[in-house]
Amino acid sequence: MSTPRDELVQYRMERAWETLEEAELMFSSNHLHGAANRLYYACFYAVCALLAHHEMSSTKHGGVLSLFNRHFVKEGVISVSYGKFYSKLFNSRTEGDYGDMLSEIEISKDDFAEAKEFIANIRELIYPVKS
């Protein structure tokens, strides 16, 4: 029997994968601001799932980033490179959504591969494969 928290974690992981697909569609259509937004949100939903799994949350995006870095990156649970990647997405999304000037969004196909690995890594932390 699943708990409401388990259902929330599962929902957020499903949203992560779905949003990653949205990002890929936007990228393939050359909608780079939208793709950067959706790519960030795909990883954001996965991070929120991880936080909820550990009974943590924040109402602010910066708070989610801070909790993720403090409890998972600095503790060595998640690699520093993933912490930097998530911060890069956070900054790209913020600039794309709120920047006053039309800015260049720097995302590439490599970012999508890394996002898939990032989300899969978080899924493994939440749902470890039993041997």
Whether residue 57 is predicted with pLDDT greater than 60 in this model: the reply is yes
Question: Is 89 contained in some domain?
Answer: yes
The reported pLDDT for the residue numbered 54 is: 97
Kindly state whether residue 121 falls inside one of the protein's structural domains: yes
With 70 as the cut, is the pLDDT of residue 131 above it? no
Residue 62 forms part of a structural domain: yes
- 63 within a domain of the structure (yes/no): yes
In a domain, 131, yes or no: no
Question: Which pTM value belongs to this model?
Answer: 0.94
At 120, which CATH number?
A: 1.20.120.330
pLDDT at residue number 4: 95
pLDDT value of residue 110: 94
Quick: pLDDT tens for 26-44.
999 998 888 999 999 999 9
pLDDT tens readout for residues 59-111: 999 999 999 999 999 999 999 999 999 999 998 888 777 776 555 677 889 99
3-class secondary structure for the chain?
A: CCCHHHHHHHHHHHHHHHHHHHHHHHHHCCCHHHHHHHHHHHHHHHHHHHHHHCCCCCCCHHHHHHHHHHHHHCCCCCCHHHHHHHHHHHHHHHHHHHCCCCCCCCCCHHHHHHHHHHHHHHHHHHCCCCC
**How many domains, the chain?**
1
- Domain residues for the domain of 71 are 4-126
